[in-house]
A = this chain, B = another copy of it.
Amino acid sequence: MDAAEFRRRGKEMVDHVADYLEKIEERPVYPDVEPGYLRSLIPTEAPVEPDSYEDIMKDVERVIMPGITHWHSPNFFAYFPAASSYPAMLADMLCSAIGCIGFSWAASPACTELETVMLDWLGKMLQLPECFLAGTHGHGGGVIQGTASEATLVSLLAARCKAIRRVQLLDPKKSEAEILSKLVAYTSEQAHSSVERAALIGAVMMKKVPTDSLYAVRGEMLKKILEEDKAAGLIPFYFCATLGTTPSCAFDHIADLGPLCNQENMWMHIDAAYAGSAFICPEFRPLLNGVEYADSFNFNPHKWMLINFDCSAMWVKKRTDIIGAFKMEPLYLKHENQESGKTFFGLKLSQSIPLGRRFRSLKMWFVFRMYGLQGLQAHIRKQVGLAKEFESLVRADKRFEICAPVVMGLVCFRLKGTNELNQSLLKKITKSREIHLVPCQLSGSFVLRLAICSRSTEFRHIQQAWQHITQLAFELLNKNEKACTFQI
């Protein structure tokens, strides 16, 4: 395919993309396929000679679309949102064309520098304390990671490195292995599974801290465990706080937890993967109070800030903590400007797990400028408003209950009754393929999660979703009642 053909096919693809998104509501949100469905629809080997482009595009509809869960359908309410916007897509086209691999400053200065400045822009939108910004002389700064899982892992590894050095400084006879076996990381019992996985990768113990009735960790809960563990000779070194947990969007009390971590010489990382985007709105910013005690902070603009995946923003107070944990410099990656005192470009490669990285900050630049801060705030507020509307609908129906405070765009609810009943309801919902939800577990209860996800979700979709859910619930309760009647 040469440039001339790309001009033609590319323009067709632009229309294809716009058509897909404009008409997405007409498609069932969840696919009706069995595992393994795809293999039988395509050849067992790659073609030796080229296929035609027309055939490929026909196969997109024939092979791919039947197996797609449509994340951008206004009827998709599962997991958390995956951001999507036209400006981000345009920026990604440009990113593909430039196609630089930004593992050092020299590999493409604009790629490294725009990233640093965009993370400063974003940090200012969130009103992060100055110490997290790079500026021209700061010790802190931001970097784009692929996912929150990577940010958690990077912070845990940096904390591990720092803790080992600190203990060895006090007691040089202690071996690294010995120290490692005593290190303990902590996180909420409600934290994302990737936090536990980071500890598994880093070969350190991790303990789950119990939460209060609102599924949040409080200072006293962590304090209690720390006392026990220190008395047992263990070395607490890391706490991962969550702002906006995956099951119910609960907020750990970082303003209490932060001073405790500081006092105990523990690294505090804050994972605000979903909720972080909302902190650009003054009314939500108080939930971030206490961030000044943290060593690192992360959230995913690719969830709720209209920047297509992947774009996970991570800030650290001391870049040297991260860089020191990973530094490797083979000759083929060295370049003249990397030791420059006034910037920290060129050391980027040390701040993420993968070495290669795309020019992801272009997406941030396009989205921030095409929406403006006001446009981004409006997006957040609209989606929180829709969640509140849904909450009202649920609260007005006595057969249902709300299971956790609705703070942002997530509503946790269930039919009053057994877990089996709610499992049956979810099965019916999934099978109908009109809307798509996933469950969570809260205090032993099987709970349905409705997250406002798509940029195109409007009030009418919320109403329809609720009508649909209540209709299925009616059928279910009716059937159960009949079954009971029969039994009698």
Contact = CB atoms under 8 A, between A and B. Distances in A.
A229 B117 CA distance: 48
Given A71-B100, A85-B1, A149-B355, A203 B203 contact: yes
Interface in A155-192: 157, 160, 175-178, 180-181, 192
A9 interface: yes
Given A22-B3, A50-B371, A110-B63, A117 B42 contact: yes
Interface string A56-97: 100010011111111110000001001011111110111011
A60 B111 CA distance: 12
A395 interface: no
A82 B109 contact: no
Given A71-B101, A113-B36, A372-B51, A3 B16 contact: no
Sorted nearest first, the 10 A-B pairs with minimum C-beta distance are: A67-B110, A177-B181, A10-B14, A38-B113, A147-B354, A6-B86, A193-B328, A17-B97, A67-B109, A51-B369
Tally of this chain's copies: 2
A107 interface: yes
**Which interface class (under 10, 10 to 19, 20 to 34, 35 or more) fits A?**
35 or more
Contact of A14 (B93, B99, B372): B93
A356 B310 contact: yes
Q: Which of A116, A201, A342 has the most CB of B within 10 A?
A: A201
Interface stretch (A214-222, A433-441, A460-468): A433-441
A368 B36 contact: no
Interface in A7-48: 7, 9-11, 13-18, 20-22, 31, 33-39, 42, 44-48
Interface of A: 1-7, 9-11, 13-18, 20-22, 31, 33-39, 42, 44-51, 53, 55-56, 60, 63-72, 79, 82, 84-90, 92-94, 96-101, 105-111, 113-114, 116-117, 120-122, 124-125, 136, 146-147, 149-150, 153, 157, 160, 175-178, 180-181, 192-194, 196-197, 200-203, 246-247, 302, 308-310, 325-326, 328-333, 336-337, 340, 342-343, 345-346, 353-356, 358, 362, 365-366, 368-375, 430, 438-441, 449
